[in-house]
Structure 1
């Protein structure tokens, strides 16, 4: 008889999903200039390398969790990991921007299938609250470590030419990791009970996915093509689709069906304000890596591996601050989040004043990026917990799914909006002064968005607000 698998080993197996999903965001950020040269791509295609992954990720994130409940978490984890591994290979083999971004979209879809199973498994494996918190902490450390490793490999691999162009290795590296995860999960992971009491909101997915596409794609490509009529038309269509989506979700909630996003959650003031703060924050967070990576490599002519080395210090600052901030939140509450935002703003101002030439003292780059990482780490891990503090525990799953959908959508939109500002001001044949000017303008836009986060945090209640929301509305 086969001995039972350790709970902690099972958790580590399913944690490969968040590790690969996160690493494939950060590993691309630093490698974007090399990817652009490799596929002879445009700036718009460069932004879509980030945005298409996150569109697929955000649109199916909630549905991915429900698929695990309905068909079994092991089956959906294996399916997601298999599709992720295959689509990663297609990314590495891509010869054009269209091929790469199509494969990236399927990468995002597969990430949305496999990553919710990790969180769900933790709930099942660790029913005791103290052990569950420990497991969630380890899960968060794995995700944070993936961001640091991704930034290092994103700088190191493009300068490596072993069996292919270096940038292709950032996708091929998922092949051995994915195969090992598939084998371990197939042999050692135990299937969970299935819950078929609720139907999937296929209609909600069918509305939200094209709505996000019609918003993000023209924001990115429209700027590059001079805003043709079709781009304006798609933006108008996105408005209509979002309105239909909200109406559809309200109707399903009223009928006690299972909507993709539960509209009744927005009656909770701290959740609603926290969601706004999240959107403003993530319009800055990921685009920062896009514009900084391009500015360092194409503007300041810093090598890919040196850029990756600098970003590692940002990741180290993030991990250290995230561990410390979780402890400080119990004592100081949202002041920790506000302090993190002000630290990020200060760090961006230091970017403007000191990171303007490759001749800058070598220690200045890692020092300022480390400070920026400290700010990020003080905000990101605790923003979700603070936003959900007033949500009843039994509805935390629906609220966190909504939160993560908004988060990934904001990242994708930020790649178009913030990244679009940067590429607009660089022009068609930029020199150092053009890159510097564009970088500074984009950083000021980022500072403005972070100030909006600060305002949201200022008006957010210190304690959960008592909101008379009928339980049956949330339960739907």
Structure 2
């Protein structure tokens, strides 16, 4: 029973990353939130989530994964309540920043607990379910978010998308207190405040202008901020190297990069997650803004994609055991085919495209993503020493979330740049087509980078294998 409890944290974090997309019109109307505030509601969460992830993973290594999971889950639940009670755009932005930071405390502990507590024979299955939860949480943000807004539960409007986390968090905490194992440090832990500050500040200087630059018209401070971020991150890396040589405990465990799968897998994650987050974001805008669908109708359009993602995610583990990394290559190729079909449809139909035409390419993308994402996560973390599970999970999830935020910012800027002051359906279709070409390039890049991953020895699949179970072994 431990696995579904800890995966609830992953689901909640991914759900809250995407659900605000469908609620943006309601936030704009009810709170009088301007475009800059809406950008911060979405991007502010991504920033604090990504910026705190490595620190959250390191704290789990130092103080125990159980303790950090419980603390992070409780704080995330409180932050969600504050989001639901916000009375102004400023209050909502502040609560979202806190929500992202608390998510960064609990989510790295999920992968760390899987790595540290599941035996090697069960770990791949648990990783498969983690990948399923990541994708389903993302798509549920669109589908369930639309359902909640349409139902207008208790007349709460947009607030319900945040308040729904409160009962879920309380139940998850109750089970976690009973089921999560204790991990005790063998010595007094030491922190790396300079490393934590350098990583957070460096990511902030890069992410904030990416999030706000388009809306502000790319003033000089955005370019200066991004320029300063590079030397600051380089200086932080130099400090981490120096601390390692002195026998200290750096925030970034650079010995992780001696593992070929981990080092080679991070660039694959960057390319893939940049595509995935931006593709979902732009499709939501196309469906609601361009084709005029309601949040519920837009969410239901994502459902076939989500179902196929779930099915192929569950099958991917046994297929990867038999065919190795070729499963990811096939998954990337199917995803690329789906995007190519979308491009052809947009070129042929333009503004006459309907949601029905989008179902086939979205289904192909869901099918391919399900084969690729869970297998990729398992391949990257397979050789990590369980003692460093928190640090590895923190670096991996930071990489994924930074790539997601950067993908949404950059490809979102391309999309909005293709719209005029009063965009028509044709304008939306043309802007989506431009983004689709970039998304195709990212998927092809991720698929090519799979070649850098070490090839595990393939083994025959067992004659009869039970379906993955949510029961922890």
| TM-score, normalised via structure 1 length | 0.86
The 1-side partners of 2:87 and 2:123 are apart by: 45
**Contact 2:195-2:250 within 8 A present in 1 as well:** yes
The 1-side partners of 2:388 and 2:69 are apart by: 23
Aligned to 2:78: 86
Aligned to 2:430: 437
The offset of 1:336, in angstroms, is 1.7
Aligned to 2:11: 19
Aligned to 1:372: 365
Aligned to 1:319: 310
Distance 1:243 1:134, change over 3 A: closer
- 1:266-311 Cα offsets, whole Å, 9 max, x none, are 3555433321121111111111111110111011101210110111
Runs of at least 5 residues in structure 2 that lack an aligned partner in the other structure: 458-473
Distance 1:341 1:50, change over 3 A: farther
- 1:324-376 Cα offsets, whole Å, 9 max, x none, are 22222223222221222221122112223336678756643333322110111
1:261 aligns with 2:252: yes
**Contact 1:32-1:294 within 8 A present in 2 as well:** no
Distance 1:346 1:434, change over 3 A: same
The offset of 1:13, in angstroms, is 3.1
Higher relative contact order (CA 8 A, sep 6+): 2
The 2-side partners of 1:120 and 1:393 are apart by: 7
1:415 aligns with 2:378: no
**Contact 2:51-2:204 within 8 A present in 1 as well:** no
1:223 to 190, 202, 214: 214
The 1-side partners of 2:62 and 2:402 are apart by: 25
Distance 1:319 1:73, change over 3 A: same
The offset of 1:77, in angstroms, is 2.5
The 1-side partners of 2:455 and 2:120 are apart by: 24
CA RMSD of aligned residues (A): 2.8
1:347 aligns with 2:338: yes
The 1-side partners of 2:259 and 2:106 are apart by: 29
1:110 aligns with 2:102: yes
- 1:76-129 Cα offsets, whole Å, 9 max, x none, are 333212221121122223344443232222111111212233344445654x33
What does 1:457-472 align with in structure 2 at a 5 Å threshold? Answer: 457-462=450-455
SS in 2 for 1:163: helix
**Contact 2:54-2:398 within 8 A present in 1 as well:** yes
What does 1:22-421 align with in structure 2 at a 5 Å threshold? Answer: 22-123=14-115, 125-126=117-118, 128-186=119-177, 191-354=182-345, 363-388=356-381, 398-421=391-414
Distance 1:278 1:137, change over 3 A: closer
Moved more, 199-208 or 27-36: 27-36
Moved more, 20-29 or 374-383: 20-29
The offset of 1:189, in angstroms, is 5.1
- 1:349-404 Cα offsets, whole Å, 9 max, x none, are 22233366787566433333221101111111111233345656765554343222
Moved more, 384-393 or 90-99: 384-393
| TM-score, normalised via structure 2 length | 0.86
Distance 1:49 1:415, change over 3 A: farther
Moved more, 324-333 or 104-113: 324-333
The 2-side partners of 1:316 and 1:348 are apart by: 18
The 1-side partners of 2:128 and 2:273 are apart by: 22
SS in 1 for 2:364: helix
> What is the count of residue pairs matched by the alignment?
455
Runs of at least 5 residues in structure 1 that lack an aligned partner in the other structure: 1-7, 465-476
SS in 2 for 1:51: helix
The 2-side partners of 1:148 and 1:177 are apart by: 18
1:425 aligns with 2:409: no
The offset of 1:208, in angstroms, is 1.1
The 2-side partners of 1:241 and 1:102 are apart by: 26
Distance 1:267 1:125, change over 3 A: closer
The 2-side partners of 1:252 and 1:458 are apart by: 33
Aligned to 1:473: none
The 2-side partners of 1:93 and 1:138 are apart by: 33
Aligned to 1:472: none
The 2-side partners of 1:56 and 1:66 are apart by: 16
